């Protein structure tokens, strides 16, 4: 179950490739992502709100404990365990290039407490998903 906490409650984070997000969450795809990934064949499921990656017990791209498309994974995967909102509480406020964004973290992510300073990791993700160099 999704349990979000403000990013300030987390000091460090790194993806440890545990697969929790691959098992627990559906991955929504943009039209561009669907076009890019259709070369892999029947890997989609259609829902009421759009197109998602297929899952059995886990994502169809999780193979041998790793993501087979990690370098080209969808934006939803790139953002996890971070959730970006336009509104939120003070502890979730994050200033990025003059914008206020409210950032929450899935408390269940196994990478919390490991790796790099969480602020730097959030900035890297924001640069990539917002296509800012």
pLDDT, one tens digit per residue, over 3-29 is 999 999 999 999 999 999 999 999 999
CA distance 37 to 74: 9
pLDDT, one tens digit per residue, over 39-74 is 999 999 998 889 999 998 999 999 999 999 999 999
Quick check: 18 and 111 in contact, CB under 8 A? yes
Residue 18: helix, strand or coil by DSSP? coil
CA distance 33 to 81: 19
Residue 47: helix, strand or coil by DSSP? strand
Quick check: 19 and 65 in contact, CB under 8 A? yes
């Amino acid at each position: 179950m999704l349990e979000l906490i403000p990013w300030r409650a987390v000091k460090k984070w790194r993806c440890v490739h545990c697969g929790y997000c691959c098992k627990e969450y559906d991955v929504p795809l943009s039209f561009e992502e669907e076009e890019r990934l259709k070369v892999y064949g029947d890997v989609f499921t259609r829902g009421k709100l759009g197109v998602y990656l297929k899952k059995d017990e886990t994502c169809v791209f999780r193979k041998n404990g790793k993501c087979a498309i990690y370098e080209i994974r969808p934006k939803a995967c790139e953002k996890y365990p971070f959730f970006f909102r336009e509104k939120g509480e003070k502890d979730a406020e994050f200033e990025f290039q003059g914008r206020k964004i409210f950032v929450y973290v899935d408390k269940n992510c196994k990478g919390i407490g490991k790796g790099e300073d969480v602020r730097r990791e959030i900035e890297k993700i924001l640069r990539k998903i917002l296509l800012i160099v």
